[in-house]
Structure 1
Amino acid sequence: MSYTLAFWSGGVDLDPADTYRRFGDTGAVDGVEPVDRQLVVQSFAERLPGWTWGGQFLTPPGVDPENGSPVFDVHLGEQLVEFVGYGMTGSAANAVIDAMRALGFRLYDPQTGERFE
């Protein structure tokens, strides 16, 4: 089972569910800041010590390669950074959230429709 964590910066006055949908429909949303991909990847290295970044998959330390979970399938878009977690733990999810918040990105949970500070 998967769980999605979505992050963007800006757009504080926009409806979060509509904004998330518009990323998929149009790709660009006025009022939302662009993603600096290099800065996000650098944040993985600095704020997630021991994690492995393979260009698409982000894996916490100690993951059994045979089992392959927990793992995050990461999409670095123009304005949206999306993590689809498989077999993720609360601590792994919180580590990702903290790394993204340090860059000024706010979490949107598409499963609940809530955007967090």
Structure 2
Amino acid sequence: MSYSLAFWSGGDALDPQQSYETMNEGRRLDGVDEVSSGDVETALGSLPDWRREGNFLFPPGPVVDEDPAFDVYVGEQMVEITGYSAEGEQMNAIIDALSPLGLRLYDPQTGERFG
């Protein structure tokens, strides 16, 4: 089972679901800030004992059939991370790592934007 988390900065007056769909299609949105891929990579790289293989990020602990894993996409204005067989504490670690960058969390499954 997969679960996605999206992060972006700005666009607070915009509808979050519409914003997510627009950026997910690769279109730019006025009022949404650029994402610094270097800052995102540094933040994710600071997660203790996590390892990166290409687009995938693996939490510490045993990996069975490539699970749990996180597929990381860093776009121009949005970061989307999709977890596979992930636990809540692993998702929270990613949220905590990206929060200092000023990227607000959007949960596409619930339609809620946080922070």
Pairwise same-fold verdict (TM > 0.5): yes
**Which residue pairs with 1:49 in the alignment?**
48
Aligned residue identity for 1:20: Y
Q: Which runs of 5+ in 1 are unaligned?
A: none
**Which residue pairs with 1:6 in the alignment?**
6
**Which residue pairs with 2:24 in the alignment?**
24
Aligned residue identity for 1:19: S
CA distance in 2, matches of 1:59, 1:78: 23
Aligned residue identity for 2:80: E
Aligned residue identity for 2:25: D
Aligned residue identity for 2:41: V
CA distance in 2, matches of 1:25, 1:69: 27
C-alpha displacement of 1:26: 4.9
Aligned residue identity for 1:50: D
Q: 1:62 to 1:26 in 2, by over 3 A?
A: closer
C-alpha displacement of 1:102: 1.3
**Which residue pairs with 2:79 in the alignment?**
81
C-alpha displacement of 1:67: 2.7
Aligned residue identity for 1:61: P
CA distance in 2, matches of 1:63, 1:73: 17
Aligned residue identity for 2:77: Q
CA distance in 2, matches of 1:73, 1:26: 17
Aligned residue identity for 2:21: R
C-alpha displacement of 1:55: 2.8
**Which residue pairs with 1:62 in the alignment?**
61
CA distance in 2, matches of 1:63, 1:93: 17
CA distance in 2, matches of 1:52, 1:25: 28
Q: 1:24 to 1:70 in 2, by over 3 A?
A: same
**Which residue pairs with 2:111 in the alignment?**
113
Moved over 3 A (4+): none
CA distance in 2, matches of 1:26, 1:97: 23
